[in-house]
Structure 1
Amino acid sequence: MSGIGDPRLEALRWRHEYAGKVRDLYLSDAEPGRALVVASDRVSAFDHVLSPGIPGKGALLTQLSLWWFSRLEVPNHLVEPTAGGLAALESPLPPDVAARAMLVKRLDMFPIEAVVRGYLVGSGWVEYQASRSVCGIPLPAGLSNGDRLPEPIYTPAYKAPLGEHDENITFAQTVELVGATDAAAIRDLSLHVFSTASAIAEERGVILADTKFEFGRDAASGEITLADEVLTSDSSRYWDAEAYAAGGANRLDSFDKQIVRDWLAAHWDKQGTPPELPAEIVERTAARYRELIERLTLPR
């Protein structure tokens, strides 16, 4: 996906290298081995970037990633452990950009999305209905949509080239991609982080239903390192624990862009350019992102 870089960053000698659906990547000859990752307010659904964006979303995603990085005792890609690594910069960023940015180490990324599921929902539920398994992992009979699994399962995906769809794969296929040692390490790290994060979320009345991680290898240390965003409302599915326990139609309402997906599915046939999002949908979605941040990070 092409994009136009922020001229203020270009004036600081950061060149715009890549635009994803949500994040922009900048590189600088003055910062060898490092990258600047800047989250935008863009929102995507059904493989399309929509208009308008969600105000404040980029800052919220970055804030939540940094909050989680500080609580997970695994190596991560931040250059410095505080302030998004930005304290290591000689020239400060514009404040509105700094709120959405992380200065990170460049890693040799693994071509795997490390997905962990604690509950049966989404594409996992669809697959379970057809095969009583998810990504080749057999599950007990009689489960329903949204049920908690007996234990979290690791269901990786192959990260397809830009513009193509990621593909669910088996653990054996990850071994073919990255080797047995790294495949096992990524799986075990993913399950460990999920377990740790689930316990933290539950203390705050929030269920972490599923999430996806990305990992790379730090060339200097050789360590497998947690990268990109982590445990945000864009990469994870969170539910309100009280609503889930009460049951009913709203028990699986998630703190993310599901409002956008639902509206788009009802008002667009997935042909041509998607319609512009109404202001009410934008605000409701922004409120869900803000609510998750407050539920997780503010003292209870």
Structure 2
Amino acid sequence: MELIYKGKTKDVYKLDGSNVLLKFKDDVTGEDGVFDPGANTVGLTIEGAGQSGLRMTKYFFEKMADKDIPTHYVDANIDEVTMTVRSAKVFGKGLEVICRYRAVGSFLRRYGAYCEEGQPLDAFVEVTLKDDDRLDPPINKDGLAQLGLLTTDEYVTLEALTKEISGVVKAELAAKGLDLYDIKLEFGRDSETGNILLIDEISGGNMRVYKDGTYIAPMDLEKLVLA
């Protein structure tokens, strides 16, 4: 297989045809040895994190398929810690779309003068550019359009998909007594059809989840969700 890209938490390989292979790694984002889904760097390595993330990703992508929500997911091999996906083109150098239900993380750091930690938010959606050197700066709908990254109509689709997907995840977690505070998603255009679809993963590594006010670490979350 041809290596296309080495990422922070996954490596990407080219397969025959239009599909690609994602190899999940045990590296997780964070700083100073502490996990943080919003961090731009690999903060630590946790044995089994890749397989844990893949199991949860498989679970949620199959939930999306049941609801006819478009994703790049084809299938997964848990033992080999790999996922086969449809090829997709990211917007520019990549966007991250965050749906927030509570004021925590970078939202609290930016707007803390106007909100309290943990304050409820109504599925607040924001987009950031994937740019480590500039600390993933936020960008709004007009900025995306003027820079040619997304049309206004595509932004509307992106926002609607983000709320729908996040709502599915939130409901699944709530059924298990868990509270989703925020979640980070990625999207791209299907390389063949051009349609917008969910890409990357849905795992404990890209969300903050609490139970009775206590934060649940990613691998512990996977055990609770898939129990």
Using structure 1 for the length normalisation, give the TM-score: 0.66
Check whether the contact 1:238–1:254 (CA below 8 A) recurs between aligned residues. Answer: yes
In structure 1, what is the equivalent of residue 47 of structure 2?
55
Q: CA deviation at 1:26?
A: 1.1
SS at match of 2:73: coil
Match of 1:102 among 60, 83, 103: 83
Higher share of residues assigned helix: 1
RMSD: 1.9
Question: Does structure 1 residue 165 correspond to structure 2 residue 135?
Answer: yes
Check whether the contact 1:27–1:35 (CA below 8 A) recurs between aligned residues. Answer: yes
Q: CA deviation at 1:34?
A: 1.4
Correspondence list, 1:277-288, <5 A:
none
Q: CA deviation at 1:42?
A: 1.4
In structure 2, what is the equivalent of residue 218 of structure 1?
190
Q: Percentage identity across aligned positions?
A: 24
Check whether the contact 2:89–2:188 (CA below 8 A) recurs between aligned residues. Answer: yes
Cα separation, 2, equivalents of 1:63 and 1:208 = 18
Cα separation, 2, equivalents of 1:48 and 1:71 = 29
Match of 2:98 among 110, 115, 127: 115
In structure 2, what is the equivalent of residue 235 of structure 1?
206
In structure 2, what is the equivalent of residue 24 of structure 1?
11
Higher share of residues assigned strand: 2
- Per-residue CA deviations over 1:130-189 (Å, capped at 9, x if unaligned) read 4x3xxxxxxxxxx4201212x1111111122x6653111223323333110111100110
Correspondence list, 1:19-168, <5 A:
19-28=6-15, 31-46=16-31, 47-50=40-43, 53-72=45-64, 73=67, 74-79=69-74, 83-84=75-76, 96-97=79-80, 100-110=81-91, 111-130=94-113, 132=114, 143-149=115-121, 151-160=122-131, 165-168=135-138
1:167/1:45 CA distance change after superposition, 3 Å:
same
Cα separation, 2, equivalents of 1:164 and 1:45 = 17
Aligned residues: 212
Moved runs in structure 1, 4+ residues, more than 6 A?
Answer: none
SS at match of 1:71: helix
Check whether the contact 1:201–1:296 (CA below 8 A) recurs between aligned residues. Answer: yes
Check whether the contact 2:28–2:205 (CA below 8 A) recurs between aligned residues. Answer: no
Q: CA deviation at 1:23?
A: 0.5
Cα separation, 2, equivalents of 1:238 and 1:186 = 23
1:50/1:199 CA distance change after superposition, 3 Å:
closer
Cα separation, 1, equivalents of 2:173 and 2:105 = 20
Check whether the contact 1:155–1:171 (CA below 8 A) recurs between aligned residues. Answer: no
Check whether the contact 1:112–1:174 (CA below 8 A) recurs between aligned residues. Answer: no
Unaligned runs of 5+ residues in structure 1 are 1-13, 87-94, 133-142, 245-250, 257-288
Cα separation, 1, equivalents of 2:29 and 2:224 = 24
Unaligned runs of 5+ residues in structure 2 are 32-39
